[in-house]
Amino acid sequence: VILVATGSFNPPTIMHLRMFELARNRLMSEGYSVLGGYMSPVHDGYAKPGLALAEHRIQMCQISTADSPFIMVDSWEARQPTRQRTVDVLARVDHCINGGMITEGTVRIMLLCGVDLLATLEDASIWIPDHVERICRDYGIVCLSRDGQSIDKVVFQNETLHRHRVSSQQKITLLSLKSLVFFLRRQSFERALSVKYLVHDGVIEYVKSHRLYNYRE
């Protein structure tokens, strides 16, 4: 398996990295070999309020993963002329890995996400239904829960997720992360609150030096 996490990473946090470690532990316990993981920062066209430029987010992700033995940064999505769909990001990684790098066997590409993203998959204003079907059918999802959000409930309410969950337990691997929350907010930088141990020290210095998120001492 190779894990792919898409998102704004604005900025990347320790918990973003921890997601990969938890997912790898779970998959390895089920007999998988996890070869690597990619962080794929979203394109600037995502137009999320307060979104730092892609170049900054790429650099912060690279700083965060510099000492990781298996988490890497894929800047392809962020560097495209226009915003890319998640299924296209997965297909591109699949093509690069299984269409060239791997000469024997097949590596499974899986989307790594939190339950908040999983819950949006039924929203046709955000996701193209056929894309959701392709992600479940051709790739698979590794999902981590958060406090107060039930993965089982989200899967039950989404026909596509439920169908693939029932037809193949291996298509959607559900992980539990009930006691930890992604609680870092950009306002922490804006309000001069300490973010040490929430983000990589190198990212803190990068934010300071580039004055991102209206940072003040």
For residue 155, the model assigns a pLDDT of: 83
pLDDT digits (tens, 9 = 90+) for 67-93: 999 999 999 999 999 999 999 999 999
Residue 205 lies in a domain: no
In a domain, 194, yes or no: no
The CATH number given to whatever domain includes residue 129 is 3.40.50.620
The domain total for the chain is 1
Q: Is residue 169 part of a domain?
A: yes
Is 188 within a domain?
no
Does the structure show a pLDDT above 70 at 43?
yes
What's the whole-model pTM score? 0.83
Range of the domain at 79: 2-181
Does any domain span residue 195?
A: no
CA dihedral over 196, 199, 203, 207, signed as positive or negative: negative
